[in-house]
Amino acid sequence: MIWLRNAMLYDGKTLRDGSWDICIEGSRIAKVIPCEAEKTALKNEGASCLDRDLRGCLVCPGFVDIHAHFRDPGQTWREDIESGSKAAAVGGFTHVVAMPNTDPPVDDPSGVRYVAEKGRQAGGAVVLPAGAVTVGRQGRTITEMIGMAKEGAVLFTDDGSPVLSSKAMRIALLYLKDLNIPLMEHPEEVSLSEGGQMNEGRISALCGLKGIPRSSEIIGVDRAIALCKETKGRLHLTHVSTKEALESIRKAKAEGLNLTCDVTPHHLVFDDEMIVKSGYSPAFKVNPPLRTKDDVEALWEGLKDGTVDAIATDHAPYHVDEKDLTFEEAKFGIASLECAVAVVLDEWDKRGKPFDLSRLLGLFTAGPGGIIGMDRTIKVGGKADITVIDLNREQKVDVRRWKSKARISPYDSLTLKGWPVMTVVAGEIRHAL
């Protein structure tokens, strides 16, 4: 039995008044009680239990990251399921969805089974598999999605690239409609982005680097929305980075389409000027690229008005030999799993808390959980997946201490305010400070 005492409580819907005691028995939540109620009885009952005083901290449903790259199978020098799982737990996530752009790709039931089995035993956050939409992620022939869903695939995506064939995407949306599983699309028109290094615009011109036009993402989003509308399928658009794409999503939602989207921490805190300010550090090279200040502001407005459903890390770890190169030669990707929540909480605080904390927390809990069919509420009888946040904790990012294998990140050495301090998975403490 575990007692989490004297904590503030976000139950997955509302930020409750006062302080609360939460009792965990086995893998379930046994009691949720105001601290002032039955105070003496609670003290006696908890005398022989694991008892944690969380005064000043906030208890939340377990955070979910629906987009991370764990490179397993086949590229485990970059990351593996165990290291990714433990990194996720340190970052406050109880569940994380692993992308299928591995080597070989996760494009059949056996691949999904491999990720699911290793993900259950990894020792940190539970790692859930995503399956590829097309065989070999080649964009032509759809995979055996029914068999993959039976093995535990929670969504389907060719992420790392878009579903190249519109016909294949259309067929996949029709199939997945019957399974009630979303297709996660990486919106990009590759004929426009090919060879690009950063966002196309004034900064790329000053840098002398080939730009990736914003139209690449806009066209990708508009194509996916058109197919979603025609098939009435479930579509999720990931790592949205431009204000025009977000506006297309806003309009599609107003029409009632079965559509969700996420944004990443790095697109919320950095713009393309950071590439120059950093001295062309490859840590800032990512796809989709960092956009303009106007785009950053548009994304925050999307968080506020509900257009954005989730914040996802797009954690993309690489070995130092693949990332510590010139900007042009380095791989695309930002590693952030262990500090992503702190990055967003810190920026939200610096912006003067532009919307309610409950809305922000929902972007890590009910939002992503709902996309993959996972209940994210704290209630008696519910599963004891819990994230504890200290909103006032200030801490420096130190990549040398990460559980992740990644050692290059744009967040390294930044001091951030607001950190996960405990992660509980099915009643077991997987991380605690």
DSSP code per residue over 36-87: TTTHHHHHHHTTTSEEEE-TT-EEEEPEEEEEE---TTT-TTT--HHHHHHH
Q: What are phi and psi of 130, to 5 degrees?
A: -105, 145
Can you read off the two tokens belonging to residue 223? 């194509």
**DSSP state, residue 99:** P
Ramachandran angles phi, psi of 300, nearest 5°: -65, -35
d(CA 104, CA 84): 18
Half-sphere exposure of 273 (CA within 13 A, CB side): 6
Burial class (CB in 10 A: 0-12, 13-18, 19+), 174: middle
Residue 398 neighbours by CB distance under 10 Å: 12
CB 176 within 8 Å of CB 233: yes
Q: Using CA atoms of 413, 419, 420, 422 in order, give the dihedral in degrees to the nearest 10.
A: 90
* Catalytic residue, candidates 295, 314, 385, 390: 314
Quickly list DSSP for 291-338: --HHHHHHHHHHHHHT---EE---B----HHHHSS-TTTSPS-B--TT
Buried b (16+ CB within 10 A) or exposed e, 131-155: bbbbbebbbeebbebeebbebbbbb
For the question of residue 314 being annotated catalytic, the response is yes
User: Helix 243-254 to helix 215-231 angle, to the nearest 10 degrees?
Assistant: 10
Exposure of 34 by Cβ count < 10 A (0-12 exposed, 13-18 middle, 19+ buried)?
A: middle
Q: Give yes or no for a contact between 184 and 234, defined as CB atoms under 8 angstroms apart.
A: no
Give me the amino acid identity at 314. Answer: D
158 SS3 class: coil
Token match 């106007």: residue?
A: 294
List, by residue number, the catalytic residues.
Answer: 314
